[in-house]
Amino acid sequence: MGVKTAVLISGRGSNLKALIDAAQGNPGYPAEIACVISNKPDAPGLFMARKAGIHAIGLNHRDYKDRKAFEDAIQALLEKYECELVVLAGFMRLLTPEFTARWYGKMINIHPSLLPSFKGAYAHRDALASGVCISGCTVHFVSPEMDAGPIILQAAVPVLEEDTESSLAARVLVQEHRCLPYALKLLAEGRLHIKGMKVEINPATVHTAPPALLNPPLEME
């Protein structure tokens, strides 16, 4: 069995599915999805988790007097299921500095932009409005400041002239499904080390640097 991991969601669980597929479809995957928690009891991702045989719990944040009480309930579940790592996969609630400090270095998030650009809930809208030619996604450690923790992994995709928020989001989501399971794998293997605002991977991955992504492509000279 792998390192017990909790996944926090708020919606359909698209990235959750990628994590479940990685954890249950690869015998050597180093993390086990021990529980899924949502602040929306009717979140489709909860039904997906239950179908996969995973403990899935809905905690309506509106039922708690404040954020601390809500997070205390989350913490109780993390302890109940003996979770050592936490993944935020479309979890649309801000966490308190106290909770993020407790889990710092053990909690990661996926964000649909190339951070530090376009933080917040409207990343695709903001990217399109800015006129950037390249967007993407980022997996990072969670820190008290929103979408600002040390970056683990990023993937870039071109922004096309005809893009809408939904078409750009779909293209970025394909890369999210690749990046998040890989980042969790590295974390569960104990290979990620935070050095200030940088993340070192030990041992370092061996690869050949890919060619630059140019958008629009250069015309032939």
Give tens-digit pLDDT for 103-128.
999 999 999 999 999 999 999 999 99
Where residue 129 sits, what CATH number does that domain have? 3.40.50.170
DSSP line for 101-170: HHTTTTEEEEESS-TTSS-STTHHHHHHHHT-SEEEEEEEE--SSTT-SPEEEEEEEEPPTT--HHHHHH
In a domain, 211, yes or no: no
Tell me the per-residue pLDDT of 132-158, one tens digit each, with 9 for 90 and over. Answer: 999 999 999 999 999 999 999 999 999
* Residue 55 is among the residues annotated as catalytic for this protein: no
Of 16, 12, 13, 46, nearest to 31 (Cα)? 16
- DSSP H or E segment with residue 19: helix 14-25
According to DSSP, the β-strands at 134-141 and 107-111 are antiparallel
Is residue 206 domain-resident?
no
Task: Answer whether residue 215 is part of any domain.
Answer: no
Strands (E), 15-81: 31-38, 55-58
User: Is position 48 within any domain?
Assistant: yes
pTM: 0.94
Task: Please report whether residue 214 resides in a domain.
Answer: no
User: pLDDT over 90 for what percent of the chain?
Assistant: 90
Residue-number span of the structural domain to which 181 is assigned: 3-201
Q: Give tens-digit pLDDT for 33-53.
A: 999 999 999 999 999 999 999
Catalytic choice (61, 111, 124, 177): 111
Q: Give the whole-angstrom CA distance, residue 57 versus residue 124.
A: 29
The span from the CA of 7 to the CA of 131, in Å, is: 33
Q: How many domains does the chain divide into?
A: 1
